[in-house]
Amino acid sequence: MKYNAILVDDDDSTINHTITVFKRMPELTLVSSYREVKSAMGQSSVFDPNLFLIDIDVAENRSMLPAFADIFPNAVVLGIMSKWDADKAFESINNGAIGCVLKPFSAEDLIDAIKIFSRGVRNTRPRSCSFFSAKGRSGKTTLIANIALSIVQQTGDMVAIIDADLQFSDMAIFFDVEPITTIVEATRDIKFLSPIRLNPYFLPVSENIQLLCGPRRLEYSELVDVESLMAVVRMAQTLFHYVLIDLPSGLSPFATNMCEVADTVFICGMLNTNFEVKHIKRTLPLFELWEQYGKKINIVFSRADDRQKLEIERQLGHKVAAVLPNEFLMVSAANSGNIKNVMNQKNLLAAKINEIAGKIINDAY
């Protein structure tokens, strides 16, 4: 596809660089440039542009992005910035940009950015969910894999899974893939990455689902620091519409920080004995504190039915978002790496997971 581009930037070096870059790529034509966003809005229509490069380091430019969507509904808007800033990127994406690239950019960077950021259907704001369990064997990894598959089936959008269960990461096994790059390399390199440079660290595992694999070896988990991983998550939230984060079991500074970076937290438990309810009850005060500040907290129990749900809620003193029945076929498929082949099966567990995914999509969870 050929692009007639408009540049909005008041920096002479960026203007000159963009002119030079566009000469090297026949798919790109710089039809005009403006120093002020209002001038671009008022005068660009005569050039029939289908690509805008807008300097989002300027607050006024970010605030004016929704107007571009109204005036040029068929044009692609890319934010450009001199230094990565997740807050500016989120604001720009929520206001209508498909994504952001760093200056100085190459023509290849722009083409890659348009291709990567245009995947899926971004109709609502980006969402991120962390999945926490008080102890192991909660069913959260199986739940995450199935929710990802369900979201894709329902929306056709891009979903990222980040396997942050550093010591016992199993998501690659679930999808029957061999890690190439992992969370170790992504966190090591994050200070030098932009969104389009982070994208190759994710491994395609199914249609519109990409996975950032956990460490290959147990001892490599010590190489991942929480601040770098939070930066990876924040950048991934501008690459994918949905980011699902699998956390290690138990309360720890690492787990709580990864819960804080997400919009929604799912607390997962598996009802084998009554101890699971007690374990979650001990963790609830922290999460209930977050609820007061607007974070969405959802408790999910597997191997439970609606009758047991009422009793669990009574013991916890807290609403349970969903209960999931045991389904041997689903668990067996997950353990054998065939999880992506069974979500279209008509059973109660698949129906329940589809319901959870639907509420995530509609911002109800």
Mean pLDDT of successive 10-residue stretches along the chain, which has 365 residues:
93 94 90 93 91 96 91 93 94 93 93 90 79 87 93 94 92 90 96 95 94 93 94 94 94 90 94 84 90 90 91 94 76 53 68 94 90
At residue 121, the pLDDT reads: 67
At residue 24, the pLDDT reads: 85
The domain at 127-361 falls in which architecture?
A: 3-Layer(aba) Sandwich (3.40)
The reported pTM is 0.91
At residue 297, the pLDDT reads: 94
Q: Boundaries of CATH 3.40.50.300 in the chain?
A: 127-361
At residue 124, the pLDDT reads: 65
Q: Boundaries of CATH 3.40.50.2300 in the chain?
A: 3-117
At residue 139, the pLDDT reads: 86
At residue 337, the pLDDT reads: 54
3-state secondary structure the chain: CCEEEEEECCCHHHHHHHHHHHHCCCCEEEEEEECCHHHHHHHHHHHCCCEEEEECCCHHHHHHHHHHHHHCCCCEEEEEECCCCHHHHHHHHHCCCCEEEECCCCHHHHHHHHHHHCCCCCCCCCEEEEEEECCCCCCHHHHHHHHHHHHHHHHCCCEEEEECCCCCCCHHHHCCCCCCCEHHHHHHHHHHCCHHHHHHHCEEEECCEEEEECCCCHHHHHHCCHHHHHHHHHHHCCCCCEEEEECCCCCCHHHHHHHHCCCEEEEEEECCCCHHHHHHHHHHHHHHHHHCCCCEEEEEEECCCHHHHHHHHHHHCCCCCEEECCCHHHHHHHHCCCHHHCCCCCCHHHHHHHHHHHHHHCCCC
At residue 338, the pLDDT reads: 56
CATH node for 3-117: 3.40.50.2300
At residue 271, the pLDDT reads: 87
At residue 340, the pLDDT reads: 55
